[in-house]
Each structure stands twice: as C-alpha cells, then as structure tokens.
Amino acid sequence: MNKPPSVPEHFDAVVVGAGFAGLYMLYRLRELGLSVRAFDSAADVGGTWYWNRYPGARCDIPTTDYAYTFDPDLEKEWTWSEKYATQPEILDYLRLVADRHSLRSDIEFSAAVTSARWDEQEERWAITTSSGQEIRCRYYIMATGCLSMPKSSEIEGAGRFGGQVYFTSRWPHEGADFTGQRVAVIGTGSSGIQSIPLIARQASQLTVFQRTANFSIPAHNGPPSADRLKRLDEDRDEYRHAARWSRGGIPTDLTDVFGMTASEAVRRERFEAAWAQGELFGILNVFADQGFNPASNDIVATMIREKIRSTVKDPGTAEALSPKDHYFGTKRPCLDSGYFETFNLPHVRLVDLRTQPIVSITEEGIETADESFGFDAIVYATGFDAMTGALVAADITGRDGWSLKEKWAAGPSTYLGLMTAGFPNLFMLTAPGSPSVLSNMAVSIEQHVDWVAGCLKDMREAGFETIEPTALAESGWDQHVQDCAAITLYPTASSWYMGANVPGKPRVFLPYIGGVDAYRKACDDVVEQDYLGFRMTGPGRARCHDGVVRRMQPDVALVLELLATLGLPPMDTLSAADARALMAATAATRPPGPEVGEVMDGVIPVPAGDLPYRLYRPAGLPEGPHPLVVYFHGGGWVLGNLDSDDPLCRDLCARSGAVVVSVNYRHAPEDRYPAAALDAFAAVQWVDANAIELGGIPGQLAVAGWSAGANIAAVACQLARDAGGPHISGQLLICPVVDSDLTRPSYQDNGDGYILTTALMRWFWDHYADPADRGDPLAAPLRGNLEGLPPTCIVTADFDPLRDEGVAYARALEAAGVPARLTRARGHIHTSLTMVDVVISGAPVRAEIGEALRTFFPNAVPQEPVS
Ligand code: N01
C-alpha cells in the first residue's frame, strides 16, 4: 500500500544549525515576526562546542571578545572564568543563551535536513528531514559552521584497528580514560596540540604522528586579560564598536613597524611582547609586513623556532617539531598549554611522518615505513573538510535542478560569502568568501546575521520576496577574494584555508582575508547602493542594480586610504618647484626595488645640452651583451628625474634581462613643447649609436616610458620611423599620454580620487604645451601616422583617466597594421605599476611587461626572469 503523502508544514524560514550562528539567526528571525524552524543533528545547542569535547578543548580567541553582544543584560550577567574558556564553559554559555530567549522551542534536535530543493513555481524551498518531514519555507539559512564536517580518514586500513578509536571532532560525551594505555594521536593541528598534553597525563605511552610541524605559541591561560576587562568596563560600547571595525574582530592596534626595516632590538622586543601576551592576533601583528613579505615573515618564524628548540630537550625532536615548510600564519597557528614541553616526558614520542610515513593502520596499531607500533587507542585529530564540506554535503538543489555540489565542483563561488547565484533565498553564514575563520567568529557571525535580518526586513518593506545575487556581482566578489589573498603569503601553504587537506578538493583560497572591517564596509556599501548586485522580485515587481562592489586591487585601495589621511595638497595647486619637492619627498620613503647587476650614471651629449642617464645592467650570467631599452620617466613633462622611476627601472631590468637606460630630459615649464620629445629622440639615437659601449646588442633596441615618458617614447618612435632610423624593435607604453582630449569616458570615470586627476592632467598640459600645439602628433601621437611603427605593448589601468586613450592607441596601431598588445592592469590606478614592493598586486602585471619586452628581442640570449 502506498504511504499517503505527508502534508508539508510551512515556515517563513528554516535554519540549519544551532551553534553560535544558528541561535542568533533564530533570535533575529523571530524578532522580525517570522515563523522559523531550526534543525540540528546534535541533541542540544552548541554546534562546534557540542561536538568538540576532546580533552583540552578551548577557544583561542580571548573570551572577553568571544561572546554575543546583542543582549546587553547577558553581557552584564555572564563572566568568563578564564582568558580562554574551556569547551564545557562555552557550551554552558550557549545553553544559557538558548534558555534566556526560549530558543529551544523552535529547534528540532537530533534531526538533520536531508535535502532542499528550490521550487520555481512556488518560489519556496522544499525541504525534507531525517525524520521524514516535508517542509516548505521561503528562506533557507545554513548556519552549519566552517569546521563541522570531519575529514574522512584516508589512511589505509583505518577501519581495521581493533582497539578504541576516537575523533577529536566527535568525542564521546562520557569522555575517554586513557589511564595506563598506549595511545596514538594522529594530527598536530589545533585539536591535536590542545589535546596531546592532557592525553599524555593519563596514557602510559603516547605516540604523536606528525605530518606537518605546526607553529604554536603559549596561550598563557589564566584569568581574563585585565587590560581588556578594563577597556570593557570603561566603555563597553566603544570596545565592541572597535571590535566590529577591526581587522580580525578584536580591538588591536595594528603596527606600522616593518620587519625588514626594524632594528634587531625592536624586532626582538616586539616578538617577546607578543609571545608573552599569548594572543593570536598579537603574534600575527609583530610586523606590518609579515603577512606578505617572506623575509619579514621569516624573522618571526625563526624566533618561534628558537623558542621550540629552547623548550624541547631532545635536539632531533625539537628539529622535527620546528615548522619549516610554510610561512608563519599561512596555516592556522595554534595556542597551546604545555604542548612542546610534553615531548620532554619520557613516555611521549614524536613520529615524523615526513621521514617515516604511515603505511597502514593494522588490527594492533600503526605501521610506518620503518616500524610497527602497537596501541590500545588511536585518536584522530585530522581536521575537517573546511568551509565547503557541510554546505556541499547538504544536498541543496537550486534553479534548473542544479546542485550546489555541481556548481562548486571547481571551487566555491559566492557573493559576499552570503549567497550564491542560482540559489534564491539561500543564505549561508560564514561561507567561503567571508572573513569567518580568519576572524573572531563571534563578531563575524553577529555581522552576518544582522546583515541577513536587515536584508529580509528591507525586502519585506519594499514588497520583495526573493533575492539572488547576479553572476556579475558574484564573479566580481570571487575575484576580489582571490585578489586579497594573492597579495599575501597565505596561498603558498598547503592549508585547509586552501582546501589542501582534503584529497581531490579544488585548491582555492576560501575565506576573505581583506579584514572584518573591510568586509563590513563592503556589505554596508552593497545595501547603500540599493542592494548592488542582487536581484529582488516580489508580486508584480523586480529590482536589480547590477554591479561589482569592489573592483580596485586591495593594496591600491589601502594606498589611497593612507594618502587621504596625509592630507597632502593637490599637486595642481602647487608651483612646479613645490610639486617637484613633494614628489622627491614621497620617493625618498619607498622601497628601493630589486637588486640588479650594476647601476651607473652618465650623460648623453645632445645639441640642447647634456641629458643625464642611469644605466641598469642585469645581474647574473651571461654577462652580456644584452638588448637595450631606453626608458623615459613619467611626471607630466614637469616632474620626475632619474630617481623618481628608479624602482620601476630596476624591476624592468631584472624582469626583461635587458640593459635599461633611463634618460632624463628637459622639463616644462622651463623648456616647453617639443623640448622633451626632441630630447627623447636624440637620446634614442645616441644609445643606438653607442650600443656596444653600453653593453648592448646593436640593432636590439626598444623604447619604453610611463605616463608622459610614454608620450615622448611614442613620439620618438614616430620620429625614428620618419628619419629612417634608428631601428626600434618595440615600444612599451605604460599608461601613456597619447592625446590631449580630456573628455574621454575614462576621464569622467577616474578624473578624481585616483592620484592622477583631470585637474592635474590639465595642469601638466598647461605647463607643457600651448593649446594650439596640443593636437600636433609631436604632442598627441595618437593623431600621427601610425604605419610602420614597431611592435607595441600598451598597458592601461582600470582607474586611470588615461585608460581610454591607451586603448585607442592600441586599436589605431592595429588598424595601421602594427602588432599591438594591450595589457590591462585590472583594478589599478595610473601610478600602481611604479609602486614596486608597495602595490604588490602590480607585480604580475610587471611580469607581463617584462615578458612583452623579451618578445621584442627574440634572438637575445634567454635569462631567468624574476618571479
Ligand atoms: O585540524 P587541522 P584541527 N595523515 O586540519 C593532520 C579550529 N580549531 O581539528 O597539516 C597524517 O588543523 C594534518 O596534517 P597536515 C582551528 O581553526 C580551533 O586540529 O595536513 N596526518 C594536521 O596536522 C583549526 O585550524 C580550536 O599535513 C594527517 C592535523 O591532522 C581548525 O579548527 C581548536 C592526515 C589536522 O589539523 C582545524 O583544527 C581546535 C593524514 N591522513 C580546532 N590528515 C580552538 O582553539 C590530516 N592530518 C578554538
């Protein structure tokens, strides 16, 4: 007999998960007057803190900050007993929250959602649960956590062991007694590092199987930090506000000390202070550049390794415990209580799986390449299928029968880490693309939940019932998430942040590393711009303001923010002399650029007088001769000199393997149009004539320039063609001025706020050329004859007023039969590429430029490019 179809229950919203995120989401949805049902496969609230009951489990964010802030009375009533609370205490806290707000009545425990399918007709989610319930809801909210899906054990023979088996992530409620037992722990991440000292207290023998040595610092646990308590007592609201607008979700004074430039004494002092403090965000903030500069990172890493060596008595064990295969911070660092000291105990042994890998788990224990071990118990502390695991496993089917698993097969894609296109009304809290695991989860969770609740309220008030991100907005956010990661060292590590711990998982940097503050601002900006990038629909209405919320490279945005704080006068309000002085002052404080083989200064005798030049010779073998590149600096024909573009010239030399001859030329207003252009041509002629003396290969000569320097480089090419020589192999024009028309769309889009402004460009032109001359090809090469010019590489930047004229020049060259390569500096401004080692995201573009220069000289001896 067929079972009668069950009648679906209807709710406004279904929430999956009753941990930190799920509980607060439920609270906020109820507050909005929505009907809600929450599910959790656990028997009670707690999420992470319900399951991870292993000995030593505690939070590693100070408890003063690891708490809800939505309930002011709760904040006053609850006091944490320790700086880092234990799992039972945190679970008690979450139980109290559930009780205070009577949340349990809307939660079904020991029940899992087994599938969710978007019903296109009804515009509702159709949900089934493990107990066979059918539910329809408008909003489906995944509060399933980032580290909730244990990684399955891929170790050969894992099911064969005859003794006790434990997973730190699924610890038995009754606990485990290891007294007198021979115990193995596999894994040395946070769970292993927290549990190993406590397991060692009971076990008669403890063997720790380590695949990757991990960085860990002492937690110095004790009473909550007096300093943080004092700040909370003085002004709780201010403290919480500072947390919400901080980088990591904890008020932290970000340092401006750079590891590379700090003295040895300052380095040591800052490191020891962070070590003594025992906070993750402290040790990650010893130097401002440790997250992206390998050498600076190594200073911190070396000092941690010294600490390990001074703690662990056996030198071989100390060496094996010292991490050397990843930069500090790029895998989640740990806080420990006596971890390294544990290896001094006579009954504790470390097995380094790098030297003797596990071959198999056996009935009796573990067999490695070198030894057989017998055990009574094996503890797996092997981690999670992080961030995507629980979401992908949840059997979610969106529009057109497309599952989340299919959509994310090559890696997750989200808008703001909150939603994903094709899955209307599906919200994910702390999903990939959100700061989540890189931040204080409590702060991030409250922000996510508040944003979702605010969104549902706004939708209701505007008469909308569905919301979904657009493909454009989502791909823009994905790109931004990857751009943020790419300027750091994080993607270099085989970490769970990269999905590298799960065999076969796509390697994509999962969380948003731009910061809690930057993320909150992006979410707020989306709302302010009428839910930019979201499509909303309701009865008889639809709304979509499509777009990308963050298109600028993150480090460029930081530079602009920093400049704004300096309050410098706009250059176009200064005299030429003052503008030159300002430019020289800023140039004096920047990094020097890469090393090259040789740098020497000289002068070029030209009819108008001597032109100073600086020659950069590539390092390494073969010693030469090399192709030659004559380079002209930028500065609107008014500013700049041999120093101003020095780091860029070094970079071009190192990447291209060419001798770069940077030539200074006469400047306006002292020497107006066409002095600079004529000097450029004269310099090219001289370098060509003196190629051998300069260490160049005769006939292998390119010209290059940035901004106004690219203007005179382009003019020099036209003059050389007209004069029948010298032969020029190629021209590289970086963000060139090629026309005097200041009305192109890129002037409208980017004429203000990105360093080179329309006003400044006008100031440059006014200094350089009379209006009557500005259309002449010697001033505006775009208006000249382009036939017969050498192969060209043009670089344009998205946020440059000159962008469109660069594009126009490339198109016009192509139309004239000249091979033209257009390189787009995505998310960059006019000055980005000159900011070597400051705007790190410019490096890949400069790598392309170096490659383009090499293609101008196909017969040159190849050299190792700088990465
Ligand atoms: O997991 P992990 P975790 N054979 O992935 C090893 C949070 N957390 O549960 O590095 C042998 O970090 C693996 O080796 P490798 C925190 O965010 C917080 O410890 O992949 N070894 C690694 O050593 C943390 O980062 C707290 O080479 C294998 C270990 O197992 C995250 O949760 C406490 C292996 C797994 O480390 C995850 O921590 C606990 C194999 N086949 C956790 N597979 C707090 O303090 C894996 N490993 C709040």
Q: What is the 3-state secondary structure (H, E, C) of 376-395?
A: CEEEECCCECCCCHHHHCCC
d(CA 580, CA 636) in angstroms, rounded, equals 11
The atom of ligand 1 lying closest to the CA of 58 is 45
CB 501 near ligand 1, within 6 Å: yes
Residue 136's φ and ψ, nearest 5 degrees, are -115, 135
Q: Whose Cα sits closest to atom 48 in ligand 1? A: 59
pLDDT of residue 682: 98
Confidence band, pLDDT 50/70/90 cuts, at residue 208: very high
Is the pLDDT score of 553 beyond 70?
Answer: yes
d(CA 534, CA 177) in angstroms, rounded, equals 53
Q: Whose Cα sits closest to atom 12 in ligand 1? A: 189
Q: Whose Cα sits closest to atom 20 in ligand 1? A: 501
Model confidence over 348-377: pLDDT tens digits?
Answer: 999 999 999 999 999 999 999 999 999 999
The dihedral through the CA atoms of 438, 442, 444, 445 has a sign that is positive
Is the pLDDT score of 444 beyond 80?
Answer: yes
Cβ count near 261 (within 10 Å) = 11
Compute the average pLDDT of residues 551-567: 95
Model confidence over 332-341: pLDDT tens digits?
Answer: 999 999 999 9
Q: Are strands 534-538 and 466-469 parallel, antiparallel or unpaired?
A: antiparallel
CB 190 near ligand 1, within 6 Å: yes
163-167, 589-593, 722-726: segment of lowest average pLDDT:
589-593
pLDDT of residue 154: 86
Choice between 152 and 763, residue whose per-residue pLDDT is larger: 763
- Residue 300 token pair: 């911190």
The preferred substitution site among 84, 190, 360 for testing ligand 1, maximizing ligand atoms within 8 Å of CB, is: 190
Buried b (16+ CB within 10 A) or exposed e, 443-481: bbbbbbbbbbbebbeebeeeebbbbbbbeebbebbbebb
- Residue/partner pairs of 520-527 with CB below 8 Å, 24 or more apart: 520/244, 520/245, 520/447, 522/416, 522/549, 522/550, 523/416, 523/418, 523/447, 523/451, 525/549, 526/416, 527/451, 527/454, 527/455, 527/458
- Describe the chain by its helix, strand, coil percentages, rounded to 5: 35, 20, 45
The atom of ligand 1 lying closest to the CA of 169 is 9
d(CA 635, CA 705) in angstroms, rounded, equals 11
The atom of ligand 1 lying closest to the CA of 331 is 25
Compute the average pLDDT of residues 421-430: 98
Nearest in space to 60 (alpha carbons), one of 245, 326, 248: 248
Confidence band, pLDDT 50/70/90 cuts, at residue 624: confident
DSSP state of 153: P
Q: Whose Cα sits closest to atom 24 in ligand 1? A: 190
What does each C-alpha distance from 34 to 28, 76, 448, 464, 538 come to in angstroms? 9, 28, 18, 15, 17
d(CA 688, CA 709) in angstroms, rounded, equals 18
Confidence band, pLDDT 50/70/90 cuts, at residue 317: very high
- Residue 191 C-alpha to ligand 1 middle, in angstroms? 6
| Cβ within 8 Å of residue 538, ≥6 positions away | 459, 462, 463, 464, 465, 466
CB 192 near ligand 1, within 6 Å: yes
What does each C-alpha distance from 725 to 370, 550, 720, 728 come to in angstroms? 72, 46, 5, 8
DSSP state of 791: P
- Residue 332 C-alpha to ligand 1 middle, in angstroms? 9
d(CA 258, CA 627) in angstroms, rounded, equals 37
- Residue 186 token pair: 């596999």
Q: Whose Cα sits closest to atom 29 in ligand 1? A: 187
To which residue do tokens 């646990």 refer? 221
Residue 310's φ and ψ, nearest 5 degrees, are -80, -10
What does each C-alpha distance from 379 to 168, 209, 634, 673, 732 come to in angstroms? 7, 10, 63, 78, 60
Nearest in space to 807 (alpha carbons), one of 718, 726, 747, 724: 747
What does each C-alpha distance from 638 to 572, 576, 604, 670 come to in angstroms? 11, 7, 20, 9
Residue 672's φ and ψ, nearest 5 degrees, are -90, 180
Q: What is the mean pLDDT of the chain?
A: 96
Nearest in space to 65 (alpha carbons), one of 440, 370, 541: 440
pLDDT of residue 588: 85
The atom of ligand 1 lying closest to the CA of 191 is 19
Is the pLDDT score of 631 beyond 90?
Answer: yes
Is the pLDDT score of 862 beyond 50?
Answer: no
DSSP E strand boundaries for 415-540:
426-428, 466-469, 534-538
Is the pLDDT score of 8 beyond 90?
Answer: no
Q: Whose Cα sits closest to atom 25 in ligand 1? A: 332
Greatest Cα-to-Cα distance within the chain, rounded to the nearest angstrom? 105
User: Can you tell me whether residue 611 is helix, strand or coil?
Assistant: strand
Q: Whose Cα sits closest to atom 31 in ligand 1? A: 190
Q: Whose Cα sits closest to atom 11 in ligand 1? A: 211
Residue length of the chain: 867
pLDDT of residue 860: 64
Model confidence over 39-98: pLDDT tens digits?
Answer: 999 999 999 999 999 999 999 999 999 999 999 999 989 999 999 999 999 999 999 999
- Residue 571 C-alpha to ligand 1 middle, in angstroms? 53
CB 381 near ligand 1, within 6 Å: yes
The atom of ligand 1 lying closest to the CA of 192 is 19
State which amino acid sits at residue 439.
S
CB 63 near ligand 1, within 6 Å: no
pLDDT of residue 784: 98
pLDDT of residue 1: 39
CB 718 near ligand 1, within 6 Å: no
pLDDT of residue 620: 83
SS3 annotation, 551-590: CCCHHHHHHHHHHHHHCCCCHHHCCHHHHHHHHHHHHCCC
Model confidence over 255-277: pLDDT tens digits?
Answer: 999 998 899 999 999 999 999 99
Is the pLDDT score of 244 beyond 80?
Answer: yes
Buried b (16+ CB within 10 A) or exposed e, 323-361: beebbbbbbbbbbbbbbbbbbeeeebebbbbeeeebbeb
CB 186 near ligand 1, within 6 Å: yes
d(CA 336, CA 196) in angstroms, rounded, equals 10
State which amino acid sits at residue 387.
M
CB 437 near ligand 1, within 6 Å: yes
CB 430 near ligand 1, within 6 Å: no
> What percentage of the chain exceeds 90 in pLDDT?
95
